[in-house]
Structures are given as structure tokens and as C-alpha cells.
Structure 1
Amino acid sequence: MSRTPLAAAARRVLGAALLVNAGVGSDIMAADLSPDVGLQVSEDSVASMFSLGPIILIFRPSSSAHLL
């Protein structure tokens, strides 16, 4: 991977956009799937797990979160 500041910034912006999209998208999906609030929470947590997990694993090598 290139180590230029512009490439690092682009990876961070892309990663943050995907994380926000996954989080908001799972909330919207759960609200549309079921009228029951308890079931919506379960659907949201499962959808978040399956969408955020791969994003975190993909962007982990370029992240500097471990330095904080």
C-alpha cells in the first residue's frame, strides 16, 4: 500500500463513509422489516455485525486506530 498522505486520507474517508452507511442502512432496514421494536433491535444488531465486521477487517491494515 502506498504511504502518501493523500492516499491515507482517501482510505480514511472511504472507510468512515462505509461505516456510516452500514450503520444508518442497518437502522433503516430494521425499521422497514418489522413493526415490533424488540425485533427491530435484533435485526439491527445482526445487520450491523455482518456489515461492519468485513469493513473493519478490510480497513484494519491502513487504520491508525491502534496507535491511539
Structure 2
Amino acid sequence: MTEPAELSDRELVRRAQQWRRHSLYGTRDASDHAREHEAEMRRRFGGGTTLAAPLVTLQVPLARRPRPWWRVW
């Protein structure tokens, strides 16, 4: 099997997705291969994801806030 470091960017992404799909279907050792490919992707493309992004909420004025659905009055 070709090492993840030897693959082109496009092929690396394709194989990482393929291995992850196989691991979801329960193929033995597929999750290990998927992790190797995903680690190489993080090394090449950086580890920035939206998971670490701050949660920003918009402040809605009190008068414009919708009523909770359970309040009838």
C-alpha cells in the first residue's frame, strides 16, 4: 500500500474519505488507515477546523425576541 505521504493532495483526500467510509461499514483496520490519512491531511493543510472556532451569537433585542412556543398567553 502506498504511504499517505507519497500521495498527491487530491488522491490523499479521496483515499481518506474512502477509508473513513469503509471504517463506518465495519471493515477491519480501516479506521487505522483513515486516521493515518487524516493525520497526513492535517500535516499538509493545517489543523484549522471550524470545531475550534468561537461561538458567536447575535444579540436580539428583548422586544423582538420570539415567544417560547409553550406560552399560550
TM-score between both structures, scaled by the size of structure 1: 0.38
Rg: which structure is higher? 2
